[in-house]
Amino acid sequence: MPQRTQVETLDEDTEISTAAIRVSEVPPGETVFSFLRRRSGYDRAIRAVRPVRAIGGQLELDLINVDVGALRDSVVEMLALEGFRGWRHAEGESRRYGGLSLTWNPDHQDRPDPHEGTLGTDRNARDEFFWRSTQHHREIRHSYFDTYGFRRRTPASCHGALGRFLDGFACPLVRSRVGVIPATEAADTACDGNEGWHRDEPVFENLRVNIPLQSDPNNLFEMEGETPRHLAVGRAYSWDTHRPHRVFCAGPTPVTRIHLVLGFAPWFDYLADEDAFRPNQFFGRVHPFDMLADGLVGPQLRLARRWRA
């Protein structure tokens, strides 16, 4: 564990349970994570840790001993085999954005194909994918918004170089996907307005890592209040995606954009044999961004060399 991690002393009333909590115990009206949060002492734990580095809510990461070309080829093979799945919303299925799910929920209330469960829901409008936009769900448990419900790897996620890459992570994957923006002959005019903006969970809940495998300079990522930027192939990126953000095409893109959009449970282990989660050794002790920077999420990701202390 990093020596420099800043940890505040938890008060005497703070109780952090290390017991395994089974998914089957989650009551109606709760998500897997909300139940874990209530049972583990999570709220006090997140107040007890601060990031060591002043990174401004974003990280650029080196890929360590990763053959990006082989990783891309493996993903392209699975896209050809399984087919592109468009992002689902109440108005239909998007052809501008989609891909393949890398995790699935065997108890999903809509029983989607495992390779499309993380690609939206037809219960929400296209502009209603902000965190906790659950007003159209009578039951949130095992819905699209039940992030830790997506706890099993899909067949696509186990294929070839992609499977070997994902096998190397120490933290469990939760809601994750291959994100694809098809090549286009024009700018994505739909993104001139509000389409595409969304907000994800706090990083303590879902630590998201974006890994470009194939892209074009006109493919841009934008965080609210910041200048849009192109994400380079051969790097990995993480932000505080609890802030509103989006991806879009600024102009014609002859190359289909293919990214891995990985979500990790930074403070919980997943026990597959028990179908249960348990607080891990970093719970309340190491900030998720420091876990990424120091290779604790997986040795194949570390803070970019020029930013290392």
Claim to verify: residue 38 and residue 127 sit in the same structural domain: no
Number of structural domains in the chain: 2
Claim to verify: residue 89 and residue 38 sit in the same structural domain: no
Q: What is the pLDDT of residues 226-263, one digit of tens each?
A: 899 999 999 999 998 888 888 888 888 899 999 999 99
Domain-located, residue 243: yes
Give the pLDDT of residue 10.
42
**CATH number for the domain including 228?**
2.60.120.330
Give the pLDDT of residue 9.
38
Claim to verify: residue 151 and residue 226 sit in the same structural domain: yes
Write out the residue range of the structural domain in which residue 238 sits.
59-267+294-307
Rounded to 5 degrees, φ, ψ at 238 are -145, 145
Could you say which DSSP state residue 134 is in?
A: -
Query: Given a cut of 70, is residue 44 above it in pLDDT?
Result: yes
Phi-psi region of 181 (alpha: psi -120 to 50; beta: other; left: phi over 0): beta
Claim to verify: residue 45 and residue 75 sit in the same structural domain: no
Residue 1 or 263, more confident: 263
User: At 249, which helix (H) or strand (E)?
Assistant: strand 245-249
For 196-245, give the secondary structure using H, E and C.
CCEECCCCCCCEEEEEEEECCCCEEEEECCCCCECCCCCEEEEECCCCCE
Phi-psi region of 65 (alpha: psi -120 to 50; beta: other; left: phi over 0): left
Map residue 29 onto helix, strand or coil. Answer: coil
Claim to verify: residue 260 and residue 283 sit in the same structural domain: no
Claim to verify: residue 221 and residue 282 sit in the same structural domain: no
Claim to verify: residue 139 and residue 280 sit in the same structural domain: no
- CA dist 181 and 191 (Å) reads 13
Here the tokens at position 119 are 């690609």
State the chain's mean pLDDT as an integer.
Answer: 88
Give the pLDDT of residue 2.
36
The stretch 290-301 carries a mean pLDDT of 96
Domain-located, residue 19: yes
- CA dist 160 and 171 (Å) reads 20
Q: What is the pLDDT of residues 141-191, one digit of tens each?
A: 999 999 999 999 999 999 999 999 999 999 999 999 999 999 986 666 656
Domain-located, residue 88: yes
- CA dist 44 and 21 (Å) reads 18
Claim to verify: residue 243 and residue 285 sit in the same structural domain: no
Query: Given a cut of 50, is residue 103 above it in pLDDT?
Result: yes
Domain-located, residue 281: yes
Contact criterion met (CB below 8 Å) for 220 and 249:
yes
- CA dist 289 and 80 (Å) reads 34
Domain-located, residue 69: yes
The stretch 45-74 carries a mean pLDDT of 89
Distance from chain centroid for Cα 157: 14
Print burial letters for 117-127: b (CB count within 10 Å at least 16), e (below 16).
bbbbbebbebe
Claim to verify: residue 41 and residue 116 sit in the same structural domain: no
Claim to verify: residue 45 and residue 181 sit in the same structural domain: no
Say whether pTM exceeds 0.85: yes
Distance from chain centroid for Cα 202: 11
Claim to verify: residue 281 and residue 186 sit in the same structural domain: no
Domain-located, residue 1: no
Give the amino acid at 110. D
Q: What is the pLDDT of residues 75-92, one digit of tens each?
A: 999 999 999 999 999 999
Dihedral (CA of 125, 152, 288, 65) sign: negative
- CA dist 100 and 83 (Å) reads 8
Domain-located, residue 236: yes
Give the pLDDT of residue 132.
65
Claim to verify: residue 16 and residue 105 sit in the same structural domain: no
Domain-located, residue 171: yes
